[in-house]
Structure 1
Amino acid sequence: MKKAIAILLSLTMILGLAACGNSASQTEQPSTEDTSVESKADTNSAESRTDMENTENQDVQDHKVLVAYFSATGTTKGVAEHIANGLNADIYEIVPEDPYTDADLNYNDNNSRTTIEMNDPNARPAISGSVENMEQYDIIFVGYPIWWGEAPRIVSTFMESYDFSGKTIVPFCTSGGSGIGSSASNLERLTSGATWLDGRRLNGSDSQDTVMEWVNSLDLNLAE
């Protein structure tokens, strides 16, 4: 009889321990439903961040930039290339059909070509070639040297050759000492419907960092 009671007590203890073990196992294991909820929350958060980043990138990519310039001696060309490289923008050189010679650029000669052109507000030297699909550009940098206090007349030809309505135009110039003066405002009068930002005189010796410091100050959110 005592032996039977001992066996019953042993079975009772074994069953009790087994029940406790199952309870602990159930408590420690997270439910499949909870794990799924957390996973979905993390996925949604990641997708939301990705959508925001894509939207911000799209805002930048939506603004297509062109750097157009005229450079008779190569000085303005260097600055234009700094801007185009810094913004990963398209670049277009305003090339005259009749190239300027050294004699043409002699401002000490009253009979030189440039002297005659700059003394005639209606002079419009012809341009070789044109900008393809100008309508695709939202922001256009226009660069030129200062001649007789103004932009060369060929730049006037360029400004009158396209419809700049709805575009933002940023003028810049190079010179031996003169500032941009009224050159930009005089070019602005040749356009309609465009937004003109304040221009800047830059030096041909300026580094790309110096040039891009000015570009970034325009708050166009285009430079990286």
Structure 2
Amino acid sequence: MNTLVTYFSVGGTTKRIAEEFAAQIGADVFEIVPTEPYTKADINYMNPLSRCNKEQIGKKDVPVNGTVADFDQYDTVYIGFPIWYAQAPRVVYTFCKEYNWNGKKVCAFATSGGSGIGKTAEKLAPYVEGAASVDAKLVHNVDEIKKKGKQI
């Protein structure tokens, strides 16, 4: 079984967890990087005019740098990201729209400074159309991904 751990991270928490998890399970890693990197002002949730707020509310596509080589080889794909407005950031949805998810097991894991997982799996499902299964769990460390990943 070929496994990919892909992730989007702004502050480094999701990156640290994703890379440590991938190393422990022997998975390939792909970082989702927006074409235009986020600045501190871009992710200021308190400012209704900040970039992250405009993207989330407007459901805008956020272009991604690079692509996953040989994506079809993966049976299981873990997608990590911070929770923004009780869902994945728009850059994650844009990333997902670029691939064929037929038959893949999709396990989303999210980090959060305060909000819950919400309906993340339901909101992600249309962007990974054809996936054999889609689930999402809120995690704070690698051990939680392993434990919850076995339940997915």
TM-score tier after normalising by the smaller chain length:
over 0.9
Relative to the length of structure 2, the TM-score reads 0.93
Larger fraction in helix? 1
Larger fraction in strand? 2
> Quick one: percent identity of the two aligned structures?
40
Q: Distance in 2 between matches of 1:99 and 1:164?
A: 26
Letter in 2 for 1:110: P
Letter in 1 for 2:136: G
| Residues paired across the two proteins, number | 152
CA separation of 1:193/1:81 partners in 2, compared to 1, >3 Å: closer, same or farther? Answer: same
Instruction: Please say which structure displays the higher CA radius of gyration.
Output: 1
Asked if the contact 1:71/1:145 (under 8 Å) is kept, the reply is yes
Confirm whether residue 213 of structure 1 aligns to residue 141 of structure 2. Answer: no
Q: Distance in 2 between matches of 1:197 and 1:110?
A: 31
Letter in 2 for 1:183: T
Residue 118 of structure 1 deviates from its aligned partner by 0.9
Runs of 4+ aligned residues of structure 1 deviating over 4 Å after TM superposition are: none
Q: Distance in 1 between matches of 2:145 and 2:3?
A: 16
- CA RMSD of superposed structures (Å): 1.4
Residue 218 of structure 1 deviates from its aligned partner by 2.9
The residue number in structure 2 matching 1:105 is 43
Relative to the length of structure 1, the TM-score reads 0.64
Q: Distance in 2 between matches of 1:138 and 1:169?
A: 9
Residue 178 of structure 1 deviates from its aligned partner by 1.7
Letter in 1 for 2:90: R
CA separation of 1:167/1:87 partners in 2, compared to 1, >3 Å: closer, same or farther? Answer: same
Q: Distance in 2 between matches of 1:186 and 1:201?
A: 15
Gaps of 5+ in 1: 1-62, 220-224
